[in-house]
Amino acid sequence: MQRNGRWRSVLAFAFATAFASAAGAEEAPKADTGDTAWMLASSALVLFMTPGLAFFYGGMVRKKNVLATMMHSYVAMGVLSLTWAIIGYSLAFGGAGKLWGSFEYLGLTGMGASVSGTIPDLVFMIYQCMFFVITPALFSGALADRIKFSSYLIILVGWAIFAYTPICHMVWDSDGYLFGKGAMDFAGGTVVHINAAVAAAVLVLLLGKRQDYPNNITPPHNLPFAVLGTGMLWFGWFGFNAGSALGANALAGYAFVNTNLGAAAAASGWMFWEWMRRGKPTALGFMSGAVAGLVIITPACGFVTPLGAIIMCWIGGIVCFEAVSLRARMKVDDSLDVLGVHGVGGTLGALLVAFFSTTGVNTLGKDGLFFGGGFDVLLVQLEGVVITIVLSAVVTLVLAKLVDATIGLRVSPEEEHDGLDLSQHGEVGYEA
pLDDT exceeds cutoff 60 at 40: yes
Residue 192's φ and ψ, nearest 5 degrees, are -100, -65
What's the distance, CA 180 to chain centroid?
21
Measured distance CA(212)–CA(209) in Å, rounded: 8
Q: Which DSSP letter does residue 188 get?
A: -
Whole-number average pLDDT of the chain: 92
Question: Tell me: the pLDDT tens digits for 98-110?
Answer: 999 999 999 999 8
The helix/strand/coil state of 119 is strand
Q: Which DSSP letter does residue 189 get?
A: I
Strands 115-116 and 119-120: antiparallel
Superfamily covering domain 32-418 = Ammonium transporter AmtB like domains (1.10.3430.10)
Query: 62, 149 in Cβ contact below 8 A?
Result: no
Give the model's pLDDT for residue 1: 59
* DSSP codes, 354-412: HHH--TTT-TTS---GGGT--HHHHHHHHHHHHHHHHHHHHHHHHHHHHHHHHT-SB--
The model's confidence at residue 214, banded by pLDDT at 50, 70 and 90, is confident
Domain boundaries, the chain: 32-418
Measured distance CA(336)–CA(62) in Å, rounded: 12
pLDDT exceeds cutoff 50 at 50: yes
Question: Tell me: the pLDDT tens digits for 150-208?
Answer: 999 999 999 999 999 999 999 999 999 999 999 999 999 999 999 999 999 999 999 99
Question: Tell me: the pLDDT tens digits for 12-37?
Answer: 333 333 333 334 445 667 899 999 99
Q: Model's pTM, two decimal places?
A: 0.92
- H/E element, 115: strand 115-116
pLDDT exceeds cutoff 60 at 319: yes
> Could you tell me which residues come within 8 angstroms of residue 382 by beta carbon, excluding any fewer than 6 positions away?
351
Measured distance CA(65)–CA(356) in Å, rounded: 42
Measured distance CA(333)–CA(68) in Å, rounded: 18
Least confident of 116-125, 133-142, 235-244, 328-337: 328-337
Looking at per-residue pLDDT, the higher value among 113 and 235 belongs to 235
pLDDT exceeds cutoff 90 at 255: yes
Percent of the chain with pLDDT over 70: 93
- H/E element, 150: helix 149-159
Measured distance CA(266)–CA(320) in Å, rounded: 9
Query: 111, 10 in Cβ contact below 8 A?
Result: no
Give the model's pLDDT for residue 21: 36
CB atoms within 10 A of CB 283: 14
What's the distance, CA 112 to chain centroid?
28
Give the model's pLDDT for residue 28: 67
The model's confidence at residue 75, banded by pLDDT at 50, 70 and 90, is very high
- Whole-Å CA distances, 175 to 10, 245, 364: 9, 19, 16
